[in-house]
Homo-oligomer: A and B are copies of this chain.
Amino acid sequence: MRENRLREIWGGGGHSINGWLGIPSSYSAEVMAHQGWDSLVVDLQHGVVDYQTAVTMLQAISTTDVVPMARVPWLEPGIIMKMLDAGCYGIICPMVNTRAEAEAFVGACRYAPDGYRSYGPVRATLYAGADYQANANATVLALAMIETAKALENLDEIVSTPGLDGIYIGPSDLSLSLGYEPKLDFTAPEVLAAVTRICDAAQAAGIAAGIHCQTPAHAKKMLALGFQMVTIWADGALLASAAKQAVDAMREG
């Protein structure tokens, strides 16, 4: 089975740079896959993407060696398993607030006896190889989003969920939940404290910690805190900001 480079990077003590895809197009996905990311996440939650389009985006990513992942819209087994069957090497699940939810999520990502994932890896086998089933449980990443006050309360129980590979922080939702404006590159000390605590809890539990960021500057601070995986920008935001900058440059002078 094709290896999961994120496991290698993290296992070697390194960190990974993750890109984010919300534009529903296999062409923009392929363009993104050529820019040097370690992994790319097709965002089915807040991205403008659903399953059928996502498959073509995963195929586009598969023309490179970038690790293909997806964020699902919600903790719903149907779409989690469909995205795994489509060849994702990692699933990010939003709003995992309790141990029971974490277990339900992990179970959806694992074949028996480790979980209740249904068997039928139609495209995954094309991407990963004929020995997919034997190795999928140990290869595919299950990352639970910690992004609410409630999840903070249950933090230790969540991070110690058997089979969970890591957590992923959504700073906007976490900020909102703690009473702040939603911001990716947060500045509120209370948010920073929570983020630090989550990262530390993940490390203590021996699992990976990832976080969604906007700018490289902020992402580097997060790496300094110990995160193994940082996301910067999303394709739509990159496009908007680069276009605005270009137009502004033309309007000047």
Interface residues of A (CB under 8 A from B): 17, 19, 22-28, 30-32, 34-37, 45-53, 55-56, 59-60, 62-63, 72-74, 76-79, 81-82, 85-86, 94-95, 111-113, 116, 118-123, 126-127, 133, 147-148, 170, 172-173, 176-177, 179, 181-182, 216-217, 219-220, 230, 232-233, 235-236, 238-244, 246-251, 253
Contact = CB atoms under 8 A, between A and B. Distances in A.
B36 A55 contact: no
A219 B250 contact: yes
A86 B56 contact: no
Nearest to A183: B119
B240 A119 contact: no
A176 B25 CA distance: 31
8 contacts: A25-B48, A26-B59, A28-B239, A49-B52, A59-B60, A119-B176, A120-B172, A216-B246
Given A48-B122, A53-B52, A243-B19, A236 B31 contact: yes
Contacts of A45: 78, 81-82, 118, 120
Contacts of A94: 118
A35 B240 contact: yes
B216 A230 contact: no
A182 B119 contact: yes
Contact of A247 (B36, B79, B127, B253): B36
Nearest to A125: B34
Contacts of A46: 85, 118-122
A35 B243 contact: yes
A110 to B, nearest CB: 11
Contacts of A182: 111, 119, 133
Nearest to A38: B247
A47 B79 contact: no
